[in-house]
Structure 1
Amino acid sequence: MNITFQVIIAFTSVAVLLGLMAVVRRIAQTIGINAEVQRKLVHIGTGLYALTLPWLFPDRWPVYMLIAITLVMMLFLRLPKVAKSGLGSTLHGVDRKSYGDILLALSVGLCFFLSDGRTYLYVLPIAVLTLADAAAALTGSAYGTRFFQVEDGHKSIEGCAVFFVVTLLVSILCLMLLTSFAPLNIIVISLMVAGFGTLVEAASWRGFDNLFLPMGLLVFLAIYADKDLTSLIILAVFFAVTLLVFRFLAPKIGLTSHASRVYITTVFLLFAVTAFQNAIIPTLVLVAHAWCGRTNPCKGRFPDLDVIAALVLVSLGWLVLGNATGWNAVSFYGVTAIGMTMGLSALALAPLAGVNRMIAMVALAVGLCAIRIWVVYANPDYANWAGSLWGVIIATLFLTALTPVVFPNAFWRARITKLTILSVVLPFGFYVFSIDVIGLLR
C-alpha cells in the first residue's frame, strides 16, 4: 500500500468518525436518546474502528497521523458553541466534566506504540475499553440500583459486575485467538485482567478510565502475560494483600473510599510492573501527600485524586519517552519522584518553626538520597547508563524544597500540578541533553 493511499485512508477515517457522530445526533433528535447513550454509541463505534488499525495500515506512521488529526478534531468539538449545540453535543451533552474523548484517542495511540507489534497487547486493552466500559456505563444508567461515590459523581455495583463479566469474556477470547498461552494460564490471566480492570474502572473519574484502563492492562500484560502459573498466583495474592492493607489504612490516613480504591490500583501497578526498588520512592510520593493533607491541606476539591493523576501521567510519560528513544528512563523517573516527595514534604513541614523545618527538610533529603544510593546499586547497568545523576538530584531537591518555602501562597491551589512541573523540568532537560535528541533526529 503506497503512502498516498494510507493518507487517504487516515483522512477518510476522520470523516467516518464525524459521520458517525452526525448519525448518532440525528437519531437522538428523532427518537430521544439521552446524552449518556449518545456518548457511548460514539465510544463503541470509535473503539471498534480502532481495533482494525493493526490490519488497516501496513506502516505505523499513518496511525500516529490519524491520532494527531483526531486529537485536533476533539479539541475543536470542545469549543462552547460546538460542544453544546453542534456536532460536539454527542460527546459533551452530559452534565459532568470529562476528558474521555481526548484520553480515548491518546490511549489508542499509546497502546499502538507500546504494543510494539504484539497484537494482543493492543487489541485486548482497546477491546475491553470499547466493550466492557460501554456495557458497564449503559447497564449502570439503565439498571443501577446500588451506587458508590466517585469524585463528584457515582457508579453502580451492577455496572461493575457487567464490566467484570464482559472483560473476562473479551480477555479469554483475545488470548485464545491471538496467543499460544496454555489454557489454564489464559483463565488465570483473564480473571486477573477482569478483576484489576474492574477496580481501575470503578476508581476512575472524569473519563480517566479511557487512559488508565487500557494503559494499566497493557503494562500488566506486557510483563506478566507470559509468566508461569506460579508467578501469576503470587501476583494475585499480592493484589489481594494490597486490597486488605488499604482497606485497613485508608480511614486512618483520612482517605475517602474512592481515593483508597485509586491508591490501591496505583500502588499495585507500581510494584507489579517495575522492580521493587524503583517503586519505593514513587510510593513515598503518596505517603508524603497523605502527610501533607493532614498538616497543611490545600484548597483543591480532590487533592487525593490529583496526586494519583500526576503520578500516573509522570510514570506513563517516562515509560513512553524511554520506549520512544530507546534509552531507559527509569533512573530519571526516580529523580522526578524524589522531587515530588521532597516538595510535598516541605509543604507538610510548614507548621514547624523556621530552623526546625529546615533541619527536618535536610534530614528528609538525606534519607531520600540514601534510598537513591540503594536503588542505583540494585538496578542493572542499562538503567544507570546516565550515571549517578547526583547533580540533577541535588538541584531538584533544592528546587522542590525551597520553592514552597519562598512562595508558600503559590501552593494553596493546583499544588500537585506545580510540584510536578518543578520535579520534572530538570530531569527531563538532562535526559534530553544526555541522549542528544538532536543527533537522534538527524
Structure 2
Amino acid sequence: METNLTHTLYLAGCYLALFSLGELLYHFFKVKAEITRKFVHAGTGILALLFPLLLDNHWWVLLLCASFAVILLCSLRFDMLKSINAIDRKSVGSLAYPVAVYGCYLSYSYQGHQAIYYYLPIMVLAISDPLAALSGKTWPWKPYRIAGATKTVMGSLVFFISAFFIVWVGWRYGNVSHPAAGNVWAFAFIALWATVAEAVSGDGYDNVSIPFTVIISLFLTASWMTI
C-alpha cells in the first residue's frame, strides 16, 4: 500500500508540473490556448502510460483520476487553468479525459493485464487526436460536418495514419513479432473506427469515444490476430 501511495503522489506531482508548464507557456510565453491544451492533452496521455507500471490496483487509478477531475471541474467553475480552458468553443474534453483513462485501466485489469487493452487506446488518444486537430487547423483541406461537428479530411487522414502506425508498432513491440497479414487488416479496422469515433464526436466527447472505440475494436478483431 505504501508503494502505491508513494507512486500515486509521484504521479500527482508530475501532473501538477505538467499543468504548471502549460500555464507558464500560456501566460508568460503567450502560446495560444489551443496549442497549450493539445500539449497538456498529449502530456497527460504520456504520463498515463506509467499507470500499469506504478499502480497495481484500479482503486488508486480511480483516486488519481477523480482528484484531477475535481481540480479540472473547479478550474472551470472559478475560471482557472487558462492554458486548458481559454478556448472559444464548448468542450468537456478535460473532464472526459480522466474518465477515459480510468476506463482503459479497468479494461486492462479485467483482461488479465494484457497491455494492448490499455496502451493502445491511451496512445491513440494522446497522439492521434491532437495531431488530427492541429493538422486540420493548419491545413484545413476539405472541411466537412458530421453529427454537428466540423472536421477536415486532412485531420481525419492524419488521425487514421497515425492511429494505424500506433497500433502496428504497439502490437509489434508487445508481441515481439512481425504482424501477419490478418493482423494488418485488424489494425486498419481499429484505426478506421477510431477515426470515425473522432469524426462524429464533438465538444470534447472524443476523449471518451476514441479510446473506448479502440478497446471495442480490439475485442472484435481478437479472432483475426495471430502472434
Above 0.5 in TM-score? yes
Deviation at 1:182, TM superposition (A): 5.0
1:139 aligns with 2:132: no
1:191 aligns with 2:188: yes
Q: Partners of 1:228 and 1:49 in 2: how far apart?
A: 28
**Higher helix proportion, which one?**
1
Question: Which protein shows a greater Rg?
Answer: 1
Matches within 5 A, 1:49-198: 49-82=47-80, 88-115=81-108, 116=110, 117-150=113-146, 154-179=150-175, 183-198=180-195
For the 8 Å contact 2:171–2:179, the answer to whether it is kept is no
For the 8 Å contact 2:160–2:195, the answer to whether it is kept is yes
| Match among 191, 201, 224 for residue 227 of structure 1 | 224
For the 8 Å contact 1:201–1:209, the answer to whether it is kept is yes
TM-score scaled by structure 2?
0.90
For the 8 Å contact 1:48–1:130, the answer to whether it is kept is yes
1:205 aligns with 2:198: no
Q: How many residues align?
A: 222
User: With CA pairs under 8 Å and 6+ residues apart, which has the higher RCO, 1 or 2?
Assistant: 2
Deviation at 1:62, TM superposition (A): 1.7
Deviation at 1:151, TM superposition (A): 5.6
Identify which range, 35-44 or 66-75, moves more after superposition. Answer: 66-75
Q: CA RMSD of the aligned region, Å? A: 1.9
Q: Partners of 1:223 and 1:52 in 2: how far apart?
A: 26
Q: Partners of 1:34 and 1:151 in 2: how far apart?
A: 27
State the one-letter code of the partner of 1:66.
Answer: L
Q: Partners of 1:153 and 1:226 in 2: how far apart?
A: 34
Question: Deviation string for 1:79-117 (max 9, x for gaps)?
Answer: 1332xxxxx211111111111111111011011102221
Deviation at 1:195, TM superposition (A): 1.2
In the alignment, what sits opposite 1:326? Answer: none
Question: Deviation string for 1:175-203 (max 9, x for gaps)?
Answer: 11224685212211111111111111111
Q: Partners of 2:160 and 2:130 in 1: how far apart?
A: 12
| Identity %, equivalent residues | 25
State the one-letter code of the partner of 1:132.
Answer: S
Deviation at 1:61, TM superposition (A): 2.6
Deviation at 1:218, TM superposition (A): 0.3
Question: Deviation string for 1:360-405 (max 9, x for gaps)?
Answer: xxxxxxxxxxxxxxxxxxxxxxxxxxxxxxxxxxxxxxxxxxxxxx
TM-score scaled by structure 1?
0.48
Q: Partners of 1:228 and 1:151 in 2: how far apart?
A: 32
